[in-house]
Structure 1
Amino acid sequence: MRRTTTSLALAAAALLLAGCGSQSGSDNAGGSKVSPSASSPSSAPSKGGCAPQVELKAADSSRTVCVAKGGEVRLTLKGTKSRPWKPVMVSGSALKGINAGFVLQPGDATAAYHAVAAGTVKLTSSRPLCAEPTAPGQVSCKGIQEWTVTVNVR
């Protein structure tokens, strides 16, 4: 009986340790070209070739998207307490901020916009590439992960 208990304890410890150091996909630096909510019927292009609703995530960084005038752009950037996203900044006047709802996790950034006029807008945010050191003498990097999406409103 003792060998079985010891074996089970070792197996459980191995599984626990295997999970340490794994990261979720939210740390993607964002070089990929992912279609925003391609399976959602609301993101299908309208007559002008622009979607009535666009949903963006961290993986959409460096993309250019098109939203129809009167449509919506929503985004969620998944972060962590130690690597939080800064609030999303908007340059341009074609989008007007609307209530994005609640941020449920510390470190996340969410935003929602109504496309009010034709034009081009840049959405930007950033977060640290590495967590800050938690103890004296630890090494940390000072790199920044940038997130930028260009939104064309037509």
Structure 2
Amino acid sequence: MRRTTPLALAALAAALLLAGCGTGGTEGNDAGRSVSPSPTHESCVSALQLTAADSGRTLCLAKGGQLRLSLDGDKARPWKPVQAEGGALTAINSGFVLQPGDANAAYRADKPGTVELTSAHGAEHWQVTVRVR
């Protein structure tokens, strides 16, 4: 008796996977037309490490993921503490040793939503939008 069960299962799994990749639905009678992905389907990551260079970005963090940020300042021009507006992130221990003027923070993505993270460094303003999905 031949052992074809693993090969047959692999072929079946591949067929099911490919069948699920269609555009699906019949809204607007899109038959024969190319449909662009919806902009709401962002690529969410499970970990983010942010710096001052990330200012102005909008990022997606998967629920349960962690975000850490480090803004390097000095005594003459310190960063203000990071403010988080929105309820999707929960502050956690950043585990960093703070140097004078630095702003460090860490968060866990606990529920879907949007959070604005902000800080300031003299006249420079830092802002990142984080979407939790």
Which interval holds the TM-score relative to the shorter structure? Answer: 0.5 to 0.7
Task: Give the conservation status (yes or no) of the 8 Å contact 2:98–2:104.
Answer: no
* CA-to-aligned-CA distance 1:100-144 (integer Å, 9 cap, x gap): 02333110000000000000000000011xxxxxxxxxxxxxxx1
Q: Which residue of structure 1 lines up, in the alignment, with residue 83 of structure 2? A: 89
Secondary structure of 1:122 counterpart: strand
2:125 counterpart of 1:146 = yes
Unaligned stretches of 5+ in structure 2?
1-41
Q: How far apart, CA to CA, are the structure 1 residues paired with 2:66 and 2:60?
A: 10
d(CA) in 2 for partners of 1:103 and 1:149?
23
8 Å CA contact retained: 2:68, 2:106: yes
Query: What code does the residue aligned with 1:147 have?
Result: W
Higher strand proportion (structure 1 or 2): 2
Native 8 Å contact 1:86 1:125 kept in 2: yes
Residue 62 of structure 1: CA displacement?
0.4
Measure, in 2, the Cα distance between the counterparts of 1:68 and 1:57.
19
In structure 1, distance between residues paired with 2:86 and 2:97: 24
Match of 1:57 among 28, 48, 51: 51
8 Å contact kept, 2:120–2:126:
yes
Larger C-alpha radius of gyration, 1 or 2? Answer: 2
Partner of 2:66: 72
Q: Which runs of 4+ in 1 moved over 4 A?
A: none
- Identity score, percent: 59
Alpha-carbon distance in structure 2 between the residues aligned to 1:64 and 1:119: 13
Structure 1: gaps of 5 or more residues:
1-47, 129-143
Matches within 5 A, 1:105-144: 105-128=99-122, 144=123
Once the two structures are TM-superposed, the CA of residue 59 in structure 1 deviates from its matched residue by 0.5
